A and B are shown apart, each in its own frame.
Chain A
Amino acid sequence: MIRLENVTKVYARGARPALDDVSLEVERGEFVFLVGASGSGKSTCLRLVLREERPSAGKVFVAGRDLSNLSSWKVPELRRKIGIVFQDFRLLPNKTVFENVAFALQVIGKRRHTIQLEVPEVLEMVGLGGKEKRRPHELSGGEQQRVAIARAYVNRPPILLADEPTGNLDPTTSMGIMRLLDRINRTGTTVVMATHDEDTVNQWRRRVVELSDGHVTRDQAEGTYDSSRRVRDMTPAPDAVTVGDA
């Protein structure tokens, strides 16, 4: 579903590359944690997949498409296949919950009756049924993130990217968000989640890809946040690629 082939990304000429010869493959329906310290290249990975950035060298394939020769007018089409969730939610403060989710469909030209049908359904799914008329500032952090997830998922994209979605949330709320992402993953959606949240990663035991200074230093099925614990766990890696392919 997502494949990086020997990707190098250098932002400023002469600077240390944000990604250095990274190769990574994520299968359809997989759930992958992208872990690593700040500046290790997690966000760059996500930005490359969204084609917000182009690699300095190497190739990025998303849903079978080579992004390096994707013309810019086809980028919107690509992004309709990818949902994205951020740490800071990025909701529109002057729109209600319903309008925030509907916005994602409006701007890609969906019909009104489709929106009237889809939005309540996805809000129900993320557990916000009955809060359609609230504005973001009237909601808790966890609820706001659910709205953001609803917005990312309402168009049923085959890929969902999450950039530290639990970064601003307490552990209990994070757990709720993770359950939601897991549920979305079970519908066959490929989920890639960049995170710092050690507890979550350790609890969920999914494939973990660790980045450090722009290199992939670990790629482990059912992994944990720390590579030190891997030694204890000794989890075999290979068959992880098919996990969650439901």
Chain B
Amino acid sequence: MRAQFILGEIGSGLRRNLSMTISVILVTFVSLTFVGAAALIQMQIGKLKDDWYDRVEVTVYLCPNDSPAPTCAAGEATEDDIAGLQTVIDDELGEQVERVYVESKADAFAAFQERFPDGYMSVPLTEDDMQASIRLKLVDPETDYVVVSDVLTGRPGVESVEDQRAIFEPLFLALNRASLIAAGLAGVMLLAAVLLITTTIRLSAFSRRRETSIMRLVGASNVFIQLPFLLEGAIAAVIGALFAVGGLYVGVQYLVTDWLAQSVSWVAYVDGTDVLFVAPALIGIAFVLAAISSVVTLRRYTRI
């Protein structure tokens, strides 16, 4: 009896305020899409970091023949310089460096020929044009680079120390900013959603004030009086959240899986599974928002 009665009340409430219900659904839909997008961008950044930071290395470029760098005044790096650097790496950077690999000019030339079989921009290059380097794989590229760079920069035979990670930084920066913008818009939209839910519930409570006043007089419990309103807001918001999940799923499918992943295939992307991972959080946010705005509103409008 109770459940049936409450469901009936909810149904009639939602129908009576149809336009408001639809606007609540749409606003939560849009706002949670932004929330979800921000979350997905963050997940994408995480995936890129996992994926690339495993591969990136710190490159210690050794002095070539005629480098203008002051540390290379003594000319090309000698075998002794390289051995000295390796000792330094072993002794001082044992904790930070996971793996060391010395790329000689011959190795560099072989890699070059593999990549550009016809010469770079039609300029034929020889082995002598290549630069030898020491490649370091760090245990934790996020924090250890500074230490490694401090220790090795300026040593004899070292022209420069370069963190490959720096190449990706602008990309991460752009993605981070995009997710911040999405989160900012999400915040504004969520505020709009809260205000709208509040107004909707207020309208609903007002249009049913006769019923609620009678309910109070005949001794209906607070929960019984407020639950229909509470659930009305929550149902509308959760429907909005489901739309947001659907929208994000379709978006990721078309934009990322079917398009971006096809054209640039060498990185890991977020996919439908990640959207489903975000989904419970979005639905939870919708429910909590609706519940909070309901409780605040109802406290004022259906007081015992």
- Residue numbers of A with Cβ under 8 A of B are 50, 72-73, 75-84, 90, 92, 103-104, 106-112, 115, 151-152, 155
Contact of B50 with A by CB under 8 A:
no
If A72-B304, A80-B218 touch, whether A107 touches B1 (CB-CB below 8 Å) is no
Lowest 9 A-B CB distances belong to which pairs? Answer: A79-B219, A80-B219, A107-B220, A104-B218, A76-B219, A107-B215, A76-B221, A106-B5, A109-B2
Contact of B267 with A by CB under 8 A:
no
Binds A, one of B86-94, B174-182, B206-214, B233-241: B206-214
* Further 11 A-B residue pairs, CB within 8 A, beyond A90-B210, A92-B211, A152-B218: A79-B218, A80-B218, A84-B217, A92-B210, A103-B218, A107-B215, A108-B219, A109-B2, A151-B218, A155-B218, A155-B219
Please give the distance in Å from A218's CB to the nearest CB on chain B: 29
Contact of B224 with A by CB under 8 A:
yes
If A72-B304, A75-B304 touch, whether A107 touches B210 (CB-CB below 8 Å) is no
Bound Cα distance A159, B216 (Å) = 16
Subset of 17 A-B contacts with CB under 8 Å:
A50-B217, A72-B222, A72-B304, A75-B219, A76-B216, A76-B222, A78-B219, A79-B218, A79-B219, A82-B219, A103-B211, A106-B1, A107-B215, A107-B220, A108-B221, A111-B1, A115-B1
- A108–B1 contact, CB under 8 A? no
Bound Cα distance A78, B217 (Å) = 10
If A72-B304, A75-B304 touch, whether A112 touches B1 (CB-CB below 8 Å) is yes
Chain B CB count within 10 A is highest, among A76, A83, A84, for A76
Bound Cα distance A178, B210 (Å) = 26
Bound Cα distance A109, B304 (Å) = 18
- B218–A108 contact, CB under 8 A? yes
Bound Cα distance A90, B213 (Å) = 9
Chain B residues closer than 8 Å to A73, beta-carbon distance: 221-222
Find B214's partner among A81, A104, A111, A155 (CB 8 Å cutoff): A104
If A90-B210, A92-B214 touch, whether A109 touches B219 (CB-CB below 8 Å) is no
Chain A residues closer than 8 Å to B222, beta-carbon distance: 72-73, 76
- A110–B218 contact, CB under 8 A? no
Which positions 5-42 of chain B face chain A at CB distance < 8 Å? 5
> Which residue of the partner chain B has the closest CB to A107?
B220
Chain B residues closer than 8 Å to A84, beta-carbon distance: 217
If A111-B1, A112-B1 touch, whether A76 touches B210 (CB-CB below 8 Å) is no
Bound Cα distance A83, B219 (Å) = 9
> Which residue of the partner chain A has the closest CB to B8?
A106
Chain A residues closer than 8 Å to B210, beta-carbon distance: 90, 92
Please give the distance in Å from B54's CB to the nearest CB on chain A: 59
Bound Cα distance A149, B2 (Å) = 24
Please give the distance in Å from A68's CB to the nearest CB on chain B: 15
Bound Cα distance A103, B225 (Å) = 12
- A90–B219 contact, CB under 8 A? no
- A77–B1 contact, CB under 8 A? no
- B304–A77 contact, CB under 8 A? no
Please give the distance in Å from B133's CB to the nearest CB on chain A: 75
Please give the distance in Å from A37's CB to the nearest CB on chain B: 25
Please give the distance in Å from B174's CB to the nearest CB on chain A: 54
Bound Cα distance A112, B221 (Å) = 18
Please give the distance in Å from A165's CB to the nearest CB on chain B: 14
Chain B CB count within 10 A is highest, among A79, A90, A106, for A106
Chain B residues closer than 8 Å to A78, beta-carbon distance: 219
- A110–B220 contact, CB under 8 A? no
- A77–B2 contact, CB under 8 A? no
Chain A residues closer than 8 Å to B215, beta-carbon distance: 107
Chain B CB count within 10 A is highest, among A78, A83, A104, for A104
Please give the distance in Å from A244's CB to the nearest CB on chain B: 24
If A72-B304, A90-B210, A92-B211 touch, whether A107 touches B217 (CB-CB below 8 Å) is no
Please give the distance in Å from B30's CB to the nearest CB on chain A: 35
If A73-B222, A92-B211, A109-B224 touch, whether A79 touches B216 (CB-CB below 8 Å) is yes
- B5–A107 contact, CB under 8 A? yes
Bound Cα distance A50, B304 (Å) = 11
If A103-B214, A108-B219 touch, whether A76 touches B304 (CB-CB below 8 Å) is yes
Chain A residues closer than 8 Å to B213, beta-carbon distance: 90
Bound Cα distance A235, B1 (Å) = 52
